[in-house]
Amino acid sequence: MSEKTKTLPIHEELVDLYLNNLDLITEGSADLLNQHREEAIQHFKLLGIPTTKNEKYKYSKIDNLFTYDYEKYFAPKKITFNVDDIFRCDIPELDTHLALVLNGFYLSKTEKITTLPSGVIIGSIAEAAKRYPEYFKNRYNTLAENDSDGLVALNTAFAQDGIFIYVPRNVAESKPIQIINLLMSNENQLVQYRNLIVVEEGAQANVLVCDHTLSPNRFLSNVVTEIFLGDNAQLEFVKMQNEHNDSAQLTHTYVLQQRDSRLKTNMLSLHGGFIRNNLSVELAGEGADAQTYGLYLTDRTQHTDNYTYIDHAVPNCTSNELYKGILDDQATGAFNGKIMVRRDAQKTQAYQSNNNLLLTADARMNTKPQLEIYADDVKCSHGATVGQLDMEALFYMRARGIGEREAKLLLMFGFVHEVVKQISIDTLRERIDDMVNKRLRGELSRCHNCPMHCC
């Protein structure tokens, strides 16, 4: 695919696109979303698209992703098909509350907002901003780093829709909430949408996000998610990325935790041409706990980059971070993780680990674990490994009659299962185990949930 001939730098062209389509972007959009756009586009105008000179993006060439011709839609396209006819969920036996997003816009068969019997609200963020402004005040766009990350500012300026989830005080929602993001178009497409998740004091929820492509065109997604956990709230947030090799996904997830809240995140990158995941967690209330996990399986010329920032802002908080990856063929990867312990954050316990397997001499992995500590009464550690399969373990297994290929697969599966087993939902964990096993065997070489076989 040929690159577009540019008459302006990429970021200037995007600024012009915003100015020329401002009426379409703001039309029908809530004031709560629109009031942040002007400042955001000014930030983007100054920051531009991050380059490798930016330390946070040192190992990923983001600007190259924007050099293709993309269609940019400012209203949801009408569909003439039934999504159920062409999309099958990877986990059909999982009983969930389901929300669909198609090309960045909430897809509803009936209402744009659903209120469950428990009082939990799920639906379009554009509609929710109009109906429930009290839930957005002092939350929407307060965690997003518009003034330091050009991609985040770009999303704030352009985003029109996405998902809103609200879990009321002391409500424990038993069913997981599943968000399925679908990309489908006859043209290359740039997609930008926004998510806001609020879990009030004493509430509990499980959120599963699944990303899929349903057509063979080139897609670039730039997504921002803001998550708020009240005192003693609990959230398990699982994101599964399973898109084709002509897709690029840039995600930015921000979490603010209050006193005694419990967070567990699991970023599962099973397939995708280019993936960049940013995760920022602020432990702002004493007793808060954050458990963050990640898994990435890459081959061919795929690239996966994870950037994490865990901020211990107050005393007596704990965090544990474990990211693991397997890279094959000419795949490349990066992990850049930082734990910040503020001066007053005494009694902090924070641990970080990144482990990687390279299956070929051509695979490359860059890893940079970091600790920045300003308190003196803490327990912290960090580390990283990049290596090959354990030859002694392989010899041991072969000596007991296990074939070489099967022995290698068992070793790789055991290596990554340490991340997968952290998923608390039994049905989901078993299905992810099966998908990982297929991916390692080369059976998950496309978006297998789609019967179109477009790739």
Would the pLDDT of 155 be above 70?
yes
Contact 40, 158 (CB under 8 A): no
pLDDT value at residue 419: 94
Contact 351, 291 (CB under 8 A): no
pLDDT value at residue 87: 55
Spell 367-399 as b/e; 16+ CB within 10 A means b.
bbbeeebebeebebebebebeebeeeebeebee
Contact 354, 326 (CB under 8 A): no
Would the pLDDT of 450 be above 80?
no
The residue whose two tokens read 């930082």 is: 338
Contact partners, residue 78, CB within 8 Å, separation at least 6? none
Q: Which of 434, 427, 448 minimizes the C-alpha distance to 176?
A: 427
Rounded Cα gap, residues 177 and 53, in angstroms: 39
Q: Where are the domains of the chain?
A: 10-392
423 or 5: which leads in pLDDT:
423
Contact 256, 284 (CB under 8 A): yes
pLDDT in tens, 328-355: 999 999 999 999 999 999 999 999 999 9
6 or 304: which leads in pLDDT:
304
pLDDT value at residue 235: 98
Helices 37-47 and 10-20, axial angle in degrees (round to 10): 160
Structure-token pair, residue 420: 């997968």
The edge-to-edge listing of strands for the beta sheet with 97-102 is 105-107, 97-102, 177-183, 204-213, 234-242, 262-271, 289-298, 318-327, 349-358, 379-387
Rounded Cα gap, residues 74 and 158, in angstroms: 9
pLDDT band at residue 453 using 50, 70 and 90 as cut-offs: very low
Rounded Cα gap, residues 83 and 100, in angstroms: 10
Would the pLDDT of 1 be above 50?
no
Rounded Cα gap, residues 236 and 229, in angstroms: 11
Rounded Cα gap, residues 103 and 192, in angstroms: 8
Strands 177-183 and 97-102: parallel
Q: Which helix (H) or strand (E) holds 155?
A: helix 150-158
The edge-to-edge listing of strands for the beta sheet with 189-199 is 113-115, 121-124, 162-167, 189-199, 219-229, 247-257, 274-283, 303-312, 332-341, 364-373
pLDDT value at residue 109: 75
Rounded Cα gap, residues 153 and 255, in angstroms: 17
Rounded Cα gap, residues 450 and 437, in angstroms: 19
pLDDT in tens, 373-422: 999 999 999 999 998 877 777 776 777 777 878 888 888 888 899 999 99
* pTM (two decimals): 0.93
Q: Which of 273, 327, 321 minimizes the C-alpha distance to 296?
A: 327
Rounded Cα gap, residues 105 and 125, in angstroms: 9
Contact 158, 191 (CB under 8 A): no
pLDDT value at residue 146: 97
93 or 74: which leads in pLDDT:
74
Q: What is the DSSP string of 75-130?
A: SPPP--S-HHHH---S-TT---EEEEEETTEEE-SS-SEEE-TTS-EEEEHHHHHH
Would the pLDDT of 3 be above 80?
no
